[in-house]
Amino acid sequence: MNNNDRFRVLPRKDFQMQTKSGNSIFAIHNFRLLFAGSTISAIGDQFTLVALPWLVLKLTGDPAALGLVLAAMALPRAAFMLIGGAVVDRMSPRRVLLAARAVNALLVSLLAVLVLAGAIHMWMIYVLALGIGLSTAFAYPAGSAILPQLVQPQQLQPANALFMGMRQLSMIVGPVIAGLVISAGAYDGHNKGVADSTGLGLAFGIDALSFLFSLGSLMLIRIHSDHHPKTPVGSVLANVASGIRHIWADLPLRAFILYGAVIAVFVGGPIQVGLPVLANTRLDLGAASLGILMTANAVGMLLGSFLSGVASRLVRGRLGLMVLGIDSLVGLALIALALIHTTLGGAVLLVCTGLLGGIGQIAIFSWIQRRVAPEMMGRTMSVLMFTFMGLGPLSAAVAGSLLKVISLTALFTGAGMTLTVIALSCMTSPALRSIGAVRADMAQAG
């Protein structure tokens, strides 16, 4: 393939023939670009995921403040996620993702400068968190809608496994390095400012730098919808409504999203707040403990991504039952986490939960991508991500407040018991049990 061919916009039929001719997914030039840029950016993201909660805890010492910061990200993300999905379906997902990540890069760079200058205050963190949440409301559905335009439907599961594996590898490497960077810049008491401010500022700066690689790869990628977008029909809000109607009409898809919403509300928030508080109050390595816990979960997710295809074949279309069984076991692991007082013990449990979660996530995500028509992909993914990434942090604000009146042990125990009871109860649902079949007909956009 010569350079001109690499950047030629292909009609859908020609594009499909080209993907079939390659020996592997990496034979697709655009896929290689997306994968490379996303890999570097994903490693950088881990620095902010460790540094931001640590910054809030060092500024305030208050878990409730951490919950409010997570909620500040979640509110605009939740409010605009569905609109973001509709915009992606009306435009090129590549262009939407490029703009969203550019905004993210700017905001994280500003955060790094403020921390290093010793000028950071909580109100600034809330404002920046709102901006990051708004940009990710467009980035998440755009990122999910690109992949089905790059590979064949039968390539989606291995492609998703590669991206999941890459993200988990970044979560293995990133949090440990981030924890060490933050610890190396610990506040020594001679300078005014936040404890660990030098390390925190460097962590945010590394993430900002990593965005440049993602932006560069996105500028080189060419996909069919760049120059052949679907003609918009109706307003953005009308498109959002049609997307919701499409999901509601698909009984298994509707059942899974409702199930995911319940899990996100009752379990996602306590975990987001609980892990940083666990590292800060019980474990012996400080920020490094948080990094190790996140890395352990990533190791499990990586192993799970490799096993997902095998597990899907073994259950033979009973993905719903597999996911419910996995969630019931994860709930028991969370109950055990309530009793942990060592970094090693927490890491072992999180490897187990990550392994189970990785198996389920790849299988379900690929099932949805195969099931949904391309013109509805952005809206469908926005609803799915709203469920997990919009509602979870909102419940984190509640969980942070609860930690003022209940213990961390009670929080983890309650979350774990809730997850197990809900998962076991849902095994009686015919709609959830039927998850796994591929639709014979592709729904058309409303």
Does residue 314 surpass a pLDDT of 90? no
The arithmetic mean of pLDDT across residues 350-374, rounded, is 82
The pLDDT value recorded for residue 20 is 44
One of 3.30.470.10, 2.60.40.3080, 1.20.1250.20, 3.40.109.10 is the CATH number of 27-433, namely: 1.20.1250.20
Q: Give me the residue spans of the domains in the chain.
A: 27-433
The pLDDT value recorded for residue 442 is 40
The arithmetic mean of pLDDT across residues 162-179, rounded, is 79
The pLDDT value recorded for residue 228 is 56
Look at residues 352, 335, 339 and name the one whose alpha carbon lies nearest to residue 293: 352
**What does the pLDDT look like over 18-45, one tens digit per residue?**
334 445 788 888 888 888 888 888 888 8
**What does the pLDDT look like over 38-87, one tens digit per residue?**
888 888 888 888 888 888 888 887 777 887 887 788 778 877 888 888 88
Look at residues 158, 137, 93, 134 and name the one whose alpha carbon lies nearest to residue 385: 137
For residue 299, the number of C-alpha atoms closer than 13 Å in the C-beta half-sphere is: 16
Residue 332 pLDDT level (bands cut at 50, 70, 90): very high
Residues 6+ apart with CB under 8 A from 323: 360, 363, 364, 435
pLDDT, the chain, mean: 79
Does residue 359 surpass a pLDDT of 70? yes
Does residue 10 surpass a pLDDT of 60? no
**What does the pLDDT look like over 250-278, one tens digit per residue?**
888 888 888 888 888 777 778 778 888 88
Cβ-contact 72, 380 below 8 angstroms: no
The pLDDT value recorded for residue 108 is 93
Share of the chain above pLDDT 70, in %: 86
The pLDDT value recorded for residue 445 is 39
Q: CB neighbours (10 Å) of residue 53? A: 23
The pLDDT value recorded for residue 315 is 75
Top pLDDT among 249 and 291 is at: 249
Top pLDDT among 330 and 67 is at: 330
**What does the pLDDT look like over 102-161, one tens digit per residue?**
999 999 999 999 988 888 889 999 999 999 988 888 888 888 778 877 777 777 777 877
Residue 226 pLDDT level (bands cut at 50, 70, 90): low
The arithmetic mean of pLDDT across residues 331-358, rounded, is 88
Residue 184 pLDDT level (bands cut at 50, 70, 90): confident
Residue 424 pLDDT level (bands cut at 50, 70, 90): very high
Does residue 186 surpass a pLDDT of 70? no
Share of the chain above pLDDT 90, in %: 8
The pLDDT value recorded for residue 13 is 40
The pLDDT value recorded for residue 390 is 65
